[in-house]
Structure 1
Amino acid sequence: MGEASATGPERREDRDPGDGVITTRALTKRYRGGQLAVDGLHLTVPAGSVFGFLGPNGSGKTTTIRMLMGLIEPTSGTAHVLGRPMPRSARAVLPHVGALIEGPALYGFLSGRDNLLRYDSADPTADPRTRRARVAAALDRVGLTAAAGKKAKAYSLGMKQRLGLAAALLQPRRLLVLDEPTNGLDPQGMREIRTLVRELASDGTTVFLSSHLLDEIEQVCSHAAVMAQGRLITQGPVADLAAGARGRLAVTTPDPSDAGRVLKEQGVADVVVAEERVTGEVPERDLAEVNAALVAAGVRVRGFGVERASLEDAFVALTGEGFDVAG
């Protein structure tokens, strides 16, 4: 017999034949008025990966996550989480999933600790005998032990994000879904959350992390997908996505203006001059000839080479659009 769920029994044919922790096929969400928020999404999240779900604000990331978690119904297409269809199997799936979506919902009049105790007591799979110990461990893991007794309404935005993450970590999870988890955090807090994500992944948890920060995805994720205007642009290992874009020629010199002029004469496009560093698109001609031209023009070349393409380079190459790379 299939497992019962909030939306009916699961059928054998509903099982996902793939091996992804998350898979979607032609997943689509159209809101009233015709707004197409997610358009035919085909997504595969490998087990054990830290998967970055990348796109500008308004690209469809949160809508997709809400469909994956069974919070809203898709207009068409399918979504499977842990091999089961959503939202049909939400009751069976969600106990194995920790999630922080659009910021945590907190009781402002309760302390941080009491909020977590309330969250845990609402989980029918949670053992009440270990509740306080698990809450204490979750608070410690996100750096909130000292503020555990403070009312949540007095928490900063970053502290609320940490508390929401602690709620997602109250029990071991097969999958952790985080929607913009570093929102509101200072640089130190962002580094701590990135370290925590890496630790969770090393323990075997698959982490699905949405963000509009390219550097965040590049630093912490093994795989990524790029969304724009509700459509999937590309997906795969982060290293492969970056490798798909051409690197940039970079020249280090105390004569940047002269270097920029010579590079343009040598057919280098998109030349950018910044203090003692000049970059541009890699030309078709022999780079040794370009270097020789710089030296012949009296440019003091202290560094010359092609830099590896970044995820930002890949995004711009794929979409032709700029992006928020630092937040």
Structure 2
Amino acid sequence: MGDGPPSAEGAAGGDERVPARGGPVIETRGLTKRFRGGQLAVDGLDLSVPAGSVFGFLGPNGSGKTTTIRMLMGLIEPTSGTARVLGRPMPAAARAVLPKVGALIEGPAPYGFLSGRDNLLRYDSADPTADPRTRGARVAAALDRVGLTPAAGKKARAYSLGMKQRLGLAAALLHPRDLLVLDEPTNGLDPQGMREIRALVRELAGEGTTVFLSSHLLDEIEQVCTHAAVMAKGRLVVQGPVAELAAGARGRLVVTTPDPGEAVRVLKEHGVTDVEAEEGRVTGSLPGPGSGAGASGSEASGAEASGLAELNAALVHAGVRVTGFGAERASLEDAFVALTGEGFDVAG
């Protein structure tokens, strides 16, 4: 990883930190990777990750996420296109960039015959910038931060997948980082472990670290990320703030009534689509993208609330007995399905 000589750009000013405030921490242009046999894993990726964001890199398994991360970290070279990390070209400036990046890619691979603590001591000693006088304190702090202190003396071969995942995170956190790259960080963790890792990601972002988090779990992205990009079959489908991506999908109107047939007729006349009735409950897509996205009670914008009020009034005016009325906000899952026509694991 970056075993060649650094470029002039990478060698000069190696102690500089992230790009100017507001600039992208990761930026790719036409990034493409084609493997032997013609398999196109990443196809013309244009990606921009804002500084200070928690950026979710979202897509089903096999969509090109890990291949992209490996190119960004200089582990493999692209077939074509460019990638810049912390304002430097990769892989040419790997020696200047990688000391500022913590990464957990394709799962951790600890030395099984060493304890968790000894694994971290070994990783830290391999870092030429690490001060050996404070090594023990750094390792102890990293173990504590991921909840591994009680198992620090246990051989890594006896660790569960979730514990190995925590150990990999601890290794990425041995030093302060400008950028943290996490590939499926909650893989193998139980629900409590997932919550702890999500809380840790939020904490790191609050300290100023940009977090680039790859996942196939929509729920995970929606809970912790400020921005996201959606990949499908090697291509970028969309990217932007998570709230805007979700708002691009239509919300769902939900009406509870003992008069479902008449409610269906009225709603269709007023522009509600995909109307369905089932056991006294009528649902439909609100007219216009984003209508009802997050529009429920006080969360609705003035225009959205007015539109909902008009629908409710139309139902009442037609004699429909309304016992429940509201809008369910659009989720990231709704946006993904709307954009790609596909679905994937949304469990969190």
State the TM-score, normalizing by the size of structure 1.
0.89
Report deviation, 1:305: 2.6
Alignment partner, residue 129 of structure 1: 133
1:156-175 equivalences in 2 (<5 Å): 156-175=160-179
1:206-231 deviations in whole A, cap 9, x for unaligned? 10000111111111111111100000
Alignment partner, residue 6 of structure 1: 3
> In the superposition, relative to structure 1, how do residues 70 and 289 fare at CA in structure 2: closer, same or farther (>3 Å)?
closer
Report deviation, 1:272: 5.8
> In the superposition, relative to structure 1, how do residues 301 and 76 fare at CA in structure 2: closer, same or farther (>3 Å)?
same
1:177-256 equivalences in 2 (<5 Å): 177-251=181-255, 253=256, 255=258
1:1-327 equivalences in 2 (<5 Å): 6-12=3-9, 19-251=23-255, 253=256, 255=258, 259=260, 262-263=263-264, 266-267=267-268, 268-271=272-275, 278-283=282-287, 288-289=310-311, 292-293=314-315, 299-302=321-324, 304-327=325-348
Identity of aligned residues (%): 78
> In the superposition, relative to structure 1, how do residues 200 and 277 fare at CA in structure 2: closer, same or farther (>3 Å)?
farther
- The AA in structure 2 aligned to 1:301 is T
Report deviation, 1:296: 5.4
- The AA in structure 1 aligned to 2:236 is L
- The AA in structure 2 aligned to 1:320 is G
**39-48 or 269-278, larger mean C-alpha shift:** 269-278
State the TM-score, normalizing by the size of structure 2.
0.84
Query: 2: CA distance between counterparts of 1:152 and 1:276?
Result: 56
Query: 1: CA distance between counterparts of 2:10 and 2:76?
Result: 22
SS of corresponding position for 2:113:
coil
Query: 1: CA distance between counterparts of 2:71 and 2:243?
Result: 28
Query: 2: CA distance between counterparts of 1:96 and 1:49?
Result: 16
Alignment partner, residue 303 of structure 2: none
Query: 1: CA distance between counterparts of 2:317 and 2:190?
Result: 44
1:272-321 deviations in whole A, cap 9, x for unaligned? 6688865321247x75356644785664522x133322111111111111
Unaligned runs of 5+ in 2: 13-18, 289-306
SS of corresponding position for 2:274:
coil
SS of corresponding position for 1:130:
helix
* Cα RMSD for the two superposed structures: 2.6
Unaligned runs of 5+ in 1: none
> In the superposition, relative to structure 1, how do residues 26 and 283 fare at CA in structure 2: closer, same or farther (>3 Å)?
closer
1:44-82 deviations in whole A, cap 9, x for unaligned? 111111111001100000000000000001000011111
- The AA in structure 1 aligned to 2:138 is R
SS of corresponding position for 1:140:
helix
Query: 2: CA distance between counterparts of 1:275 and 1:123?
Result: 64
Query: 2: CA distance between counterparts of 1:283 and 1:82?
Result: 42
Query: 1: CA distance between counterparts of 2:231 and 2:262?
Result: 37
Query: 2: CA distance between counterparts of 1:14 and 1:228?
Result: 36
- The AA in structure 1 aligned to 2:343 is G
Contact 1:14–1:84 (Cα < 8 Å) also in 2: no
Report deviation, 1:32: 0.5
Query: 2: CA distance between counterparts of 1:123 and 1:13?
Result: 18
Q: State the number of aligned residues.
A: 318
- The AA in structure 1 aligned to 2:340 is T
- The AA in structure 2 aligned to 1:322 is G
